[in-house]
Each structure stands twice: as C-alpha cells, then as structure tokens.
Amino acid sequence: MPKTAETRMSAQALGELANNIRLDILDMVYKAQSGHIGGSFSAAEIVTTLYFAEMRNLDPQNPRLPHRDRFVLSKGHACPVWYACLSRLGFFDAEHLDSLRKINSILQGHPDMKSTPGIDITTGSLGHGCASATGMALEGKAAKDQRRVYTVLGDGEINEGVVWETAMAAAKYELDNLVFFIDKNNLQMDGTSDEIMPLLSIEDKFRSFGWHVLTIDGHDIEQILCALDLARLTKGKPTCIVANTTKGKGVSFMEDVRNWHGKAPSTEEYQAARAELVA
C-alpha cells in the first residue's frame, strides 16, 4: 500500500533531507572536481520525495527485489542527486560518494546499472532513460505486478525525438503505472530553453499525446506529494508532472546561472555554497 499521510515523513522533514542531499551533491562534485550541480539541485526535492515518501518495496539489502517500484533518472548527468539518495537509504556506504567519477568507483560519471546498487538502468545519453522506464512499466503490466515506475527528465532533454516516440507508446499502452517528472528549470547547456529550442507548453504537448498532466512547483514538497497521489488515482493514462524548478536551487550564486550546468566549484565557491546550504 502507498504510504499514508500518517506514515510518510513530513513535508518539512523531507525538505530538510533534500537540503542535506544538496550538501552531499556539493561535496561529491567538489571532491571529484567534475560533475553536474545545477541539474542535481533542481531535482533535489523531487528525487528525495520519491525515494523517502513515495516508492515502495525498496530494500537496500536486496536491491533487485522483484516488486520494487522503479526509478529512472533519464537526465542521467544529474546522477549525484541519485547517488546521494541511494547512499542515505543504505544501498551503499557513504564513503563511496568521495569516489564519484574516479577510476574503479561504483559511482560512474553517468548512471551505470552494473556498477551501482539500486540503479536499475543505465542512462546518460538523453532521452533513452524515459523510454527504458516505459519498458519497465510495460513489463510491470505484463507481469501483472503493482509496481510503479518514476522517471525524471530534463526540460532540455525533451528536445530529443525519442521522448515523443515514447510518449505515444506509453499512452497507447495506457501505462497508468508510469510517471514522468519534467524538471523544468528552463536552462540548458548553451542557454535558456527558449533560446535553444522553444518548448511552448509542455503541458499541452503531453495532454495532446494522451497523458494525464499536472503542473507543480518542483521545490514544494506538499505539491510533489499531492501530484503523486493524483497520479496514483489516475487510471488508463500515464501521468506527466511538469515541475517548475530553478537550476542550481539553494545556492544564490548558482541559481539560474548557465555556467553551473557542469562546473565544479573552487574551494572558495565550495565554502560559500556550503555556508548557504547549512544556514
């Protein structure tokens, strides 16, 4: 059964946890001197809420439990947020976080299902993850399993044609066990989403493809929880939750700055960012 309001962590506790996840991300990328902070921060509340309040049958000691809910980070470059959540759940020891992107590490530069306990599918080439998630949802239906499949896509990522091929297939097969979050931070590597490829209304697009569509503030945990409840109640359609977010959320000088897509902080920047996050 889904966690009830009584058994769930409170929204406030989840918010605090998301902030600690941001600290983990900052530490990881600083130590690696490489990685993607901006898009990891924008998805922090979404991924934290999914793992700590929504997903069922997760067992860190048995990461491939058949009936577990699945999570796919389709915007794979934001994997520090995924690694931080998995580590805090106990899928692997926190000391591994220091080895991000280093040789022999279980934490690859982009998510690798063969290296990291708790990761069900390899991602990192944009667009593929959401299609793989759709395959997992299809398999769930075929197996008559109650599992749900959650995926987070970047708004830039939905430039990829495969996203729309997948959107059609998921609607065709009425995958009400599938949820897409669009982490809509409006910023891509080369500029704003409007400059790179105007997305117009993502909601209208998914709606016209036959999806149940919701729009939320992606940093508001109550709204994330509410949207997940609504998604679960929706039958016969996959749900797309368009989450308005801020790239680099939580650190003033990283917020909405294109350059923080894939930049490692200097020692000074690291200390300043840390001070803001612990304040």
Binding site for other proteins (CB under 8 A): 32, 34, 76, 101-105, 107-110, 112, 115, 122-127, 156-157, 159-161, 188-191, 195-197
For other proteins, give the closer residue by CB, 125 or 266.
Answer: 125
Closest approach of other proteins to the CB of residue 116, in Å: 11
Q: Rounded CA gap, 77 and 263, in Å?
A: 12
- Which has the closest alpha carbon to 99: 35, 157, 155, 55? 35
Q: Which is nearer to other proteins, 119 or 228 (CB)?
A: 119
Q: What is the dihedral of CA 24, 29, 35, 36, to 10 degrees?
A: 50
Between residues 27 and 69, which has the closer beta carbon with respect to other proteins? 27
Q: Which residues of 207-219 are buried (b: 16+ CB within 10 A; e: fewer)?
A: eebebbbbbbebb
DSSP bridge pairs for 183: 154, 243
Q: Which is nearer to other proteins, 114 or 235 (CB)?
A: 114
CA distance 59 to 32: 28
